[in-house]
Amino acid sequence: MTAVTCIGLGLMGSTLARAALASGHDVAVWNRTPGKARMLADIGAVAPDTLADAIAASPIILICIDSYASTRVLLETNGVANRLAGRTIVNLTTGTPREAEALSVWVGEQDARYLDGAILCGPGAIGTAGGELVFSGDALAWQVAGPLLTCLAGKVRSVGRAVGDAAALDLAWLTMSYVKFMGVAHAASICRAQGIDLQAFIDLFPADPFACKLARIIKDEAYDQPTATLQVWGEALARIQMQARDAGIPSAMPDFVAGYFRRAMDMGLGQQEAIAIYKTLPVNEQPT
Ligand code: NAP
């Protein structure tokens, strides 16, 4: 038996699986597109052919895919749901508190334990002191999975008993990034209109590495090697909108930003860096 099964081997999921392997754990992996699992098998993971066998392989199941809806479809698959009993399911997919609560209830109905988690860093920080993961929910699930999860990043914490707390804190944290995306994109437009090289803007903010990184991507037109795609950021933004509706709080800010992400997706920019939303801003050739 392996210690953990990692389901979902995209940019983030594959990094989590590598970190689990690097920390000395036996790891099983499964991905919808099998080629990605073979890459992990090459460095020591077990890669069962079926999702059911991957679930059966470990007592802890770590999920990191596109959405809770897909997670539910996977777990409800014939031959999968009936293998969950007694296992601890840890979901690191970005979602809303309500989605976390619903999945927690469903997993409980399968006689399994559920821990909800959120990743407050990019793949580059996983397995390093700067990586940050937060979890909330079932205290016993945290007791079971905590020692393994602690090996995946430098800062790994349980942030609450209420299962939706990690998702809420994640969405609150992510919201600040969208403010920066919009701010840097508009700042670049200002510089372009004034004929200022974007390097002059970058030089103003040495203490803000995120703003500098975004501005540099625009300056160098280096949109093609994202560590999280515009599509993934767009899906997280949709979760921020959903949370606002669920909680009855204003959604004007995420709704406004979502218009830019929708336009970028329509322009075929989904696999680029999120700051490619800059390309949706029209160049005003004839100022008034
Ligand atoms: P990604 O590179 O786009 O990978 C998406 C993963 O989801 C792939 O394994 C994909 O499988 C799988 N998937 C998509 N639709 C599926 C479906 N219907 N059924 C089964 N599997 C499906 O995304 P990522 O960057 O790894 O992000 C994964 C999660 O981590 C997201 O919730 C994201 O918000 C969160 N996260 C990411 C980052 C980051 O910096 N990348 C940071 C924090 C949190 P295929 O390979 O078959 O397409």
- pLDDT at residue 206 in the model: 84
Whether the CB of 177 sits within 6 Å of ligand 1: no
CATH of the domain at 147: 3.40.50.720
Same domain, 174 and 153: no
Which of 137, 162, 187 is the last residue before a domain boundary?
162
The DSSP secondary structure of 145-157, one letter per residue, reads HHHHHTTS-SEEE
Q: In a mutational test of the pocket of ligand 1, which residue from 32, 126, 272 has the highest number of ligand atoms less than 8 Å from its CB?
A: 32
Ligand 1 atom, smallest distance to 33 CA: 47
pTM (two decimals) = 0.95
Same domain, 190 and 130: no
| Cα-based angle 56, 60, 63 (whole degrees, multiple of 5) | 95
pLDDT digits (tens, 9 = 90+) for 190-218: 999 999 999 999 999 888 999 999 999 99
DSSP class of residue 284? -
Whether the CB of 19 sits within 6 Å of ligand 1: no
pLDDT digits (tens, 9 = 90+) for 84-116: 999 999 999 999 999 999 999 999 999 999 999
Per-residue tokens: 250:
């204003």
CA-wise closest residue to 8 among 59, 88, 70: 70
Same domain, 158 and 33: yes
Give me the number of domains the chain comprises: 2
Domain that residue 260 falls in: 168-280
**First CA to last CA across the chain, in angstroms?**
69
Same domain, 145 and 226: no
Determine the distance separating the centroid of ligand 1 and the alpha carbon of 204, expressed in angstroms.
Answer: 35
- Per the domain annotation, does 287 fall within a domain? no
Of the pLDDT bands very low, low, confident and very high (cuts 50, 70, 90), residue 148 is: very high
Whether the CB of 91 sits within 6 Å of ligand 1: no
- Per the domain annotation, does 201 fall within a domain? yes
Which of 134, 162, 190 is the last residue before a domain boundary?
162
- pLDDT at residue 78 in the model: 83
Of the pLDDT bands very low, low, confident and very high (cuts 50, 70, 90), residue 9 is: very high
SS3 helix, strand, coil % of the chain, rounded to 5? 55, 15, 35
Instruction: Tell me the C-alpha distance between 224 and 241, whole Å.
Output: 27
| Cα-based angle 120, 123, 129 (whole degrees, multiple of 5) | 70
Instruction: Tell me the C-alpha distance between 129 and 20, whole Å.
Output: 15
- The pLDDT mean for the chain works out to 96
